Amino acid sequence: MIHPTAIIHPGAKISASCNIGAYCVIGENVILGDHCKLHSQVVIDGHTHIGNENEFFPFTAIGLKTQDLKWKGGVTRTRIGDQNVFREGVTVHSATSNGDATVIGNGNLFLTHVHIAHDCQLGNGIIMSGFVGLAGHVVVEDFATLGGYTAVHQFCRIGTRCMTGGCSRLPQDVAPYTIVEGNPAVARAINKVGLERAGFSAAAQSALRSAYKIIFREDLSTADALKKVEAELPPLPEVNHLVQFIRTSERGVCK
Protein backbone atom coordinates (compact mmCIF):
# COMPACT_ATOMS: atom_id res chain seq x y z
CA MET A 1 0.00 0.00 0.00
CA ILE A 2 1.87 3.05 -1.30
CA HIS A 3 0.17 6.41 -1.69
CA PRO A 4 0.55 7.81 -5.21
CA THR A 5 2.20 10.98 -3.91
CA ALA A 6 5.01 9.08 -2.14
CA ILE A 7 8.45 9.32 -3.74
CA ILE A 8 10.45 6.09 -3.45
CA HIS A 9 13.81 5.58 -5.10
CA PRO A 10 13.75 2.46 -7.29
CA GLY A 11 16.82 1.18 -5.47
CA ALA A 12 15.10 1.11 -2.07
CA LYS A 13 14.11 -2.29 -0.72
CA ILE A 14 10.59 -2.09 0.65
CA SER A 15 8.62 -5.05 2.00
CA ALA A 16 5.35 -5.57 0.15
CA SER A 17 3.53 -5.47 3.51
CA CYS A 18 4.55 -1.86 4.27
CA ASN A 19 2.01 0.95 4.33
CA ILE A 20 3.49 4.20 2.98
CA GLY A 21 1.36 7.33 3.24
CA ALA A 22 1.11 10.59 1.35
CA TYR A 23 4.19 12.65 0.49
CA CYS A 24 6.69 10.28 2.08
CA VAL A 25 10.22 10.24 0.62
CA ILE A 26 12.42 7.14 0.76
CA GLY A 27 16.02 7.15 -0.46
CA GLU A 28 18.03 4.74 -2.56
CA ASN A 29 19.81 2.84 0.20
CA VAL A 30 16.87 2.33 2.54
CA ILE A 31 15.66 -1.14 3.58
CA LEU A 32 12.20 -1.37 5.17
CA GLY A 33 11.14 -4.63 6.83
CA ASP A 34 7.70 -6.17 7.10
CA HIS A 35 4.58 -4.29 8.20
CA CYS A 36 6.20 -0.89 8.70
CA LYS A 37 3.78 2.05 8.58
CA LEU A 38 4.71 5.55 7.42
CA HIS A 39 1.71 7.80 8.05
CA SER A 40 2.56 10.78 5.83
CA GLN A 41 5.39 13.22 5.07
CA VAL A 42 8.04 10.90 6.50
CA VAL A 43 11.60 11.14 5.15
CA ILE A 44 13.93 8.12 5.37
CA ASP A 45 17.29 8.41 3.63
CA GLY A 46 20.94 7.39 3.88
CA HIS A 47 22.17 3.84 4.36
CA THR A 48 19.29 2.98 6.66
CA HIS A 49 18.15 -0.52 7.59
CA ILE A 50 14.82 -0.70 9.41
CA GLY A 51 13.32 -3.91 10.81
CA ASN A 52 9.72 -5.03 11.15
CA GLU A 53 6.55 -3.39 12.47
CA ASN A 54 7.93 0.10 13.00
CA GLU A 55 5.58 3.08 12.89
CA PHE A 56 6.57 6.56 11.73
CA PHE A 57 4.28 9.55 12.24
CA PRO A 58 4.31 12.75 10.15
CA PHE A 59 7.45 14.86 9.81
CA THR A 60 9.88 12.26 11.14
CA ALA A 61 13.30 12.35 9.47
CA ILE A 62 15.37 9.17 9.74
CA GLY A 63 18.90 8.35 8.62
CA LEU A 64 19.94 11.70 7.21
CA LYS A 65 23.50 13.02 7.28
CA THR A 66 25.03 13.74 10.68
CA GLN A 67 25.07 17.34 11.93
CA ASP A 68 28.57 16.74 13.32
CA LEU A 69 31.09 19.12 11.71
CA LYS A 70 33.71 16.37 11.86
CA TRP A 71 31.99 14.50 9.02
CA LYS A 72 34.49 13.80 6.24
CA GLY A 73 32.36 11.65 3.94
CA GLY A 74 32.17 7.90 3.49
CA VAL A 75 29.37 5.44 4.17
CA THR A 76 27.66 5.91 7.52
CA ARG A 77 24.63 3.93 8.61
CA THR A 78 21.47 3.94 10.68
CA ARG A 79 20.12 0.62 12.00
CA ILE A 80 16.71 0.32 13.62
CA GLY A 81 15.19 -2.88 15.02
CA ASP A 82 11.56 -3.94 15.35
CA GLN A 83 8.34 -2.51 16.79
CA ASN A 84 9.52 1.01 17.47
CA VAL A 85 7.21 4.03 17.39
CA PHE A 86 8.47 7.41 16.17
CA ARG A 87 5.95 10.16 16.86
CA GLU A 88 5.66 13.50 15.09
CA GLY A 89 8.87 15.35 14.31
CA VAL A 90 11.35 12.77 15.60
CA THR A 91 14.83 13.01 14.04
CA VAL A 92 17.46 10.25 13.94
CA HIS A 93 20.78 11.07 12.29
CA SER A 94 23.33 8.75 10.76
CA ALA A 95 26.82 8.26 12.22
CA THR A 96 29.76 10.57 11.56
CA SER A 97 32.71 8.35 10.63
CA ASN A 98 32.96 5.99 7.67
CA GLY A 99 31.65 2.53 8.60
CA ASP A 100 30.01 3.59 11.87
CA ALA A 101 26.30 3.43 12.69
CA THR A 102 23.62 4.99 14.82
CA VAL A 103 21.75 2.04 16.35
CA ILE A 104 18.27 1.70 17.86
CA GLY A 105 16.98 -1.60 19.26
CA ASN A 106 13.43 -2.93 19.65
CA GLY A 107 10.17 -1.83 21.22
CA ASN A 108 11.09 1.79 21.92
CA LEU A 109 8.70 4.76 22.06
CA PHE A 110 9.92 8.19 20.98
CA LEU A 111 7.40 10.95 21.54
CA THR A 112 7.08 14.22 19.66
CA HIS A 113 10.26 15.96 18.47
CA VAL A 114 12.74 13.64 20.14
CA HIS A 115 16.22 14.10 18.64
CA ILE A 116 18.69 11.18 18.44
CA ALA A 117 22.04 12.44 17.18
CA HIS A 118 24.88 10.72 15.35
CA ASP A 119 26.44 7.54 16.73
CA CYS A 120 23.95 7.07 19.56
CA GLN A 121 23.43 3.47 20.70
CA LEU A 122 19.99 2.69 22.11
CA GLY A 123 18.73 -0.57 23.57
CA ASN A 124 15.19 -1.89 23.97
CA GLY A 125 12.00 -0.79 25.71
CA ILE A 126 13.11 2.83 26.10
CA ILE A 127 10.60 5.66 26.48
CA MET A 128 11.58 9.22 25.58
CA SER A 129 9.00 11.91 26.23
CA GLY A 130 8.55 14.98 24.05
CA PHE A 131 11.57 17.07 23.04
CA VAL A 132 14.21 14.85 24.63
CA GLY A 133 17.55 15.57 22.96
CA LEU A 134 20.47 13.15 22.79
CA ALA A 135 23.77 14.62 21.64
CA GLY A 136 26.27 12.46 19.76
CA HIS A 137 27.63 9.13 21.01
CA VAL A 138 25.09 8.77 23.83
CA VAL A 139 24.36 5.23 25.07
CA VAL A 140 20.91 4.44 26.49
CA GLU A 141 20.41 1.07 28.15
CA ASP A 142 17.23 -0.99 28.11
CA PHE A 143 14.01 0.31 29.67
CA ALA A 144 15.27 3.77 30.55
CA THR A 145 12.60 6.49 30.76
CA LEU A 146 13.53 10.08 29.91
CA GLY A 147 11.19 12.88 30.91
CA GLY A 148 10.20 15.66 28.53
CA TYR A 149 12.88 18.14 27.46
CA THR A 150 15.70 16.10 28.99
CA ALA A 151 18.98 17.21 27.40
CA VAL A 152 21.85 14.71 27.34
CA HIS A 153 25.50 15.70 26.82
CA GLN A 154 27.74 13.96 24.29
CA PHE A 155 29.21 10.59 25.29
CA CYS A 156 26.96 10.18 28.34
CA ARG A 157 25.45 6.82 29.29
CA ILE A 158 21.90 6.39 30.57
CA GLY A 159 21.53 3.29 32.74
CA THR A 160 18.85 0.64 32.60
CA ARG A 161 15.55 1.18 34.45
CA CYS A 162 16.46 4.75 35.34
CA MET A 163 14.14 7.74 35.06
CA THR A 164 14.92 11.40 34.41
CA GLY A 165 12.72 14.28 35.50
CA GLY A 166 11.36 16.73 32.96
CA CYS A 167 13.73 19.49 31.82
CA SER A 168 16.75 17.73 33.32
CA ARG A 169 20.22 18.56 32.02
CA LEU A 170 22.52 15.53 32.02
CA PRO A 171 26.22 16.42 31.82
CA GLN A 172 27.22 13.04 33.33
CA ASP A 173 26.10 9.42 33.25
CA VAL A 174 22.86 8.34 34.94
CA ALA A 175 23.33 5.27 37.12
CA PRO A 176 21.02 2.30 36.50
CA TYR A 177 17.84 2.01 38.59
CA THR A 178 17.98 5.63 39.81
CA ILE A 179 15.79 8.71 39.43
CA VAL A 180 17.62 11.93 38.56
CA GLU A 181 16.31 15.45 38.13
CA GLY A 182 17.54 19.01 37.89
CA ASN A 183 19.86 21.38 36.05
CA PRO A 184 22.40 19.89 36.32
CA ALA A 185 20.68 16.65 37.28
CA VAL A 186 21.31 15.03 40.64
CA ALA A 187 20.25 11.64 41.99
CA ARG A 188 17.00 11.84 43.95
CA ALA A 189 16.10 8.23 44.77
CA ILE A 190 16.14 4.63 43.63
CA ASN A 191 13.47 4.00 40.96
CA LYS A 192 11.24 2.08 43.38
CA VAL A 193 8.03 2.15 41.34
CA GLY A 194 9.84 1.23 38.13
CA LEU A 195 11.49 -1.77 39.80
CA GLU A 196 8.19 -2.94 41.28
CA ARG A 197 6.38 -2.66 37.95
CA ALA A 198 9.15 -4.56 36.21
CA GLY A 199 8.81 -7.44 38.69
CA PHE A 200 12.22 -7.20 40.34
CA SER A 201 12.52 -9.52 43.31
CA ALA A 202 12.21 -8.19 46.84
CA ALA A 203 15.84 -9.17 47.44
CA ALA A 204 17.04 -7.21 44.42
CA GLN A 205 15.01 -4.15 45.38
CA SER A 206 16.31 -4.23 48.93
CA ALA A 207 19.92 -4.62 47.79
CA LEU A 208 19.61 -1.77 45.30
CA ARG A 209 18.14 0.53 47.95
CA SER A 210 21.06 -0.26 50.23
CA ALA A 211 23.56 0.24 47.41
CA TYR A 212 21.97 3.58 46.56
CA LYS A 213 22.34 4.81 50.15
CA ILE A 214 26.00 3.78 50.27
CA ILE A 215 26.95 5.27 46.90
CA PHE A 216 24.85 8.42 46.84
CA ARG A 217 24.19 9.32 50.47
CA GLU A 218 27.20 8.29 52.51
CA ASP A 219 30.19 10.61 52.60
CA LEU A 220 32.51 8.24 50.73
CA SER A 221 34.58 8.51 47.59
CA THR A 222 33.11 6.64 44.65
CA ALA A 223 35.85 4.00 44.79
CA ASP A 224 35.35 3.40 48.51
CA ALA A 225 31.57 3.31 48.16
CA LEU A 226 31.75 0.66 45.44
CA LYS A 227 34.12 -1.44 47.55
CA LYS A 228 31.71 -1.22 50.47
CA VAL A 229 28.80 -2.28 48.28
CA GLU A 230 30.73 -5.31 47.06
CA ALA A 231 31.81 -6.23 50.58
CA GLU A 232 28.47 -5.83 52.34
CA LEU A 233 25.74 -6.61 49.80
CA PRO A 234 24.83 -9.86 48.06
CA PRO A 235 26.40 -10.23 44.58
CA LEU A 236 23.10 -10.07 42.74
CA PRO A 237 23.18 -9.32 38.98
CA GLU A 238 21.45 -5.98 39.52
CA VAL A 239 23.97 -4.87 42.14
CA ASN A 240 26.89 -6.05 40.01
CA HIS A 241 25.57 -4.11 37.02
CA LEU A 242 25.19 -0.94 39.08
CA VAL A 243 28.72 -1.24 40.43
CA GLN A 244 30.32 -1.97 37.06
CA PHE A 245 28.38 0.83 35.36
CA ILE A 246 29.67 3.39 37.84
CA ARG A 247 33.18 1.95 37.96
CA THR A 248 33.55 2.17 34.18
CA SER A 249 32.06 5.64 33.86
CA GLU A 250 34.36 8.07 32.09
CA ARG A 251 32.30 11.18 32.79
CA GLY A 252 31.23 10.30 36.32
CA VAL A 253 27.61 9.81 37.37
CA CYS A 254 24.96 12.31 38.40
CA LYS A 255 25.09 12.39 42.22
- Domain of residue 18, CATH code: 2.160.10.10
- What is the mean predicted confidence (pLDDT) over 189-213? 98
Which positions are annotated as active-site residues?
118-119, 136
Tell me: the pLDDT tens digits for 151-187? 999 999 999 999 999 999 999 999 999 999 999 999 9
- Whether 146 is covered by a domain: the verdict is no
DSSP-derived secondary structure for 70-109: T---S--EEEE-SS-EE-TT-EEEPPSSTT-EEEE-SS-E
Instruction: Say which DSSP state 193 is in.
Output: H
- Whether 151 is covered by a domain: the verdict is no
- Whether 158 is covered by a domain: the verdict is no
Is this structure's pTM higher than 0.85?
yes
CA distances (Å), origin 14, targets 26, 28, 197: 9, 11, 38
Same domain, 199 and 89: no
- Whether 189 is covered by a domain: the verdict is no
Residue 241: which domain range? 195-247
- Whether 47 is covered by a domain: the verdict is yes
**Which CATH number covers residue 240?**
1.20.1180.10
Tell me: the pLDDT tens digits for 226-239? 999 999 999 999 99
- Whether 42 is covered by a domain: the verdict is yes
- Whether 177 is covered by a domain: the verdict is no
- Whether 162 is covered by a domain: the verdict is no
Q: Sorting pLDDT into bands at 50, 70 and 90, what band is 6? A: very high
The domain tally of the chain equals: 2
Tell me: the pLDDT tens digits for 49-86? 999 999 999 999 999 999 999 999 999 999 999 999 99
pLDDT of residue 106: 99
pLDDT of residue 176: 98
Same domain, 131 and 199: no
- Whole-angstrom distance, CA of residue 149 vs CA of residue 129: 7
